[in-house]
Chain A
Amino acid sequence: MEKTPFKTKLKRVLKAGFFNFWRSSYVSFASIIVMIITLSVIGSVIFLSTILNITMEELRDKVDVNVYFVNTALEEDIISLKTKIEALPEVKLVQYTNREEALENFRLQHENDQITLQALDELGENPLGAALNIKAKEPSQYEGIANFLNEENILSSEGEKIIDKINYFENKEAIDRLSKIIDSAERLSWVISLTLVTISIIMTFNTTRLAIYISREEISVMQLVGASKNYVRGPFVVTGVIVGLFSGLLTIFIFLPICYWLGNTTQDFFIGLNIFDYYLDNFFQILLIIISAGIAIGALSSYLAVRRYLKL
């Protein structure tokens, strides 16, 4: 007997898988519903982690350390210090504000406060010193940077002290608390996401197992008429892939009205992030993740469930 070409085998397996899906419509429908729940959990985890990441990033950006210099400090000394700070591995960004810019910013901040501006004018000279604004890569790294600035004996070329004040030590408690909140929130979100995704995947696996349990007699008959294990397994895996594909497409379209409805709420609540805009901007990426997850879960759960009954 001649060997069946791979193309013919594949065509037969695909056809049988599609017929399984179509003819066992109730079972397929139940599997799709459960798979949609799983994929919705995965989708929600994607959205929630995005919201959390962006919010945390915003919070991180709000934390910084300012180094204020004495009025007599020379610009070249400050620039030289800036270069030294930038070389530190934990530093993300250092911004220099000279005395004139500091005065300009002060005036802008107090443009509606005439008394303060009048007092400033009466002084006749710029009372503000230059400053360096330092942003670290992680909030927990500010202490190290502040200690570096404190421990280094930072003097001018003439040997005079040029740093007036470092505001880290005034804000230390708030920075530490924020740093802890960010770390805990990230860790908690990982644990919650992982738990939810695991539970929903187990749920899908069990539904697939039940669906294939119904066909256990068929599986043994298929083997008894001489079908190889792969030939028996193939159509079930194809059915799993179709269930995953359909569920993925339905899930992505279920998210459309939900994201639209939540868009403005998230914008007001989470530092300007509109979830609907995020959904539209990343539509194909999200589609790919959801459909790939659906196909992978469908195929794997079917593969494992059939394996249980391929004992002959």
Chain B
Amino acid sequence: MSIVFDDVSKKYNDYVALNQVSFNIDPNEFVSIVGPSGAGKTTLLRMLLAEDKPTSGKIFLNSIDIHALSNKDIIRRTIGVVFQDFRLLPQKNVYENIAFAMEAAGRTDEEIESDVPHVLDLVDLGNKIWNFPNELSGGEKQRVAIARAIVNQPDIIIADEPTGNLDPVNTYDIVQIFKKINDLGTTVVLTTHNKGVIDSIGRRVITVQNGCIVRDDLTGKYIL
């Protein structure tokens, strides 16, 4: 699934969060969006998830203008999302958190029963299936969030600072999971300001500063 940002700007009153941003992401790419805090990385992802509308410009997913759609659920079901603060549903256990994403996508009970344990094995959490989020470590929570994001086999995974709350060991593990997901054919768009993460991914890096793209290269290096 291709992503196109076409001259996208976003203003919050007088504050310009994004200023005429344009770029393309091809299917199966792994793109890291980097920049300091407040650069506009999260705004960019929020608009890709149709959480927020651009003030001007358009965003296309496979040539579909996502903000022109009245029903955004359909688009969201083709995107897996991972947040820095995990955002698991606290009243649901690990199984139910992942099953919820499948239920939302209209999957059958049989599919849910077979796919949830499988995807938990992929993130190495098969033994925590009935635990609640408050019984998991930060790294485990993020693995559950990744499992939830990939369970519907989305075309795109969007990860907003997914390692921001993790220690170096868990950070490394999570990055490896994302690389594995990308190797299986899923487009990954990840924001971070962790230089180590970018260096270990070593793929395309888009650098955002003050709401503008200041660098877009394939060196896989975090340069500010």
Contacts and interface: CB of A to CB of B under 8 A. Distances in A.
Interface in B152-197: 152
Interface stretch (A57-65, A135-143, A199-207, A219-227): A219-227
Nearest to A19: B91
Interface of chain B: mostly helix, strand, loop or mixed: loop
Contact of B76 (A3, A218, A226): A226
B215 interface: no
Range for the number of chain B residues in contact with chain A: 20 to 34
Interface of A: 1-4, 8, 12, 19-20, 23-24, 217-218, 220-229, 231, 312
B106 A4 contact: yes
Interface of B: 49-51, 71-74, 76-77, 81, 87-92, 96, 100-101, 103-109, 148, 152
Contacts of A226: 73-74, 76-77, 101, 104-105, 152
A12 B50 CA distance: 26
Given A224-B51, A224-B76, A312-B51, A218 B89 contact: yes
A225 B49 CA distance: 10
A270 to B, nearest CB: 49
Contacts, number: 63
Nearest to B106: A4
A228 B50 CA distance: 14
Contacts of A222: 89, 100, 104
7 contacts: A1-B106, A12-B103, A19-B91, A218-B90, A221-B88, A226-B73, A228-B73
Nearest to A4: B106
A227 B73 contact: yes
Nearest to B78: A226
Contacts of B103: 4, 12, 227, 231
B92 A19 contact: yes
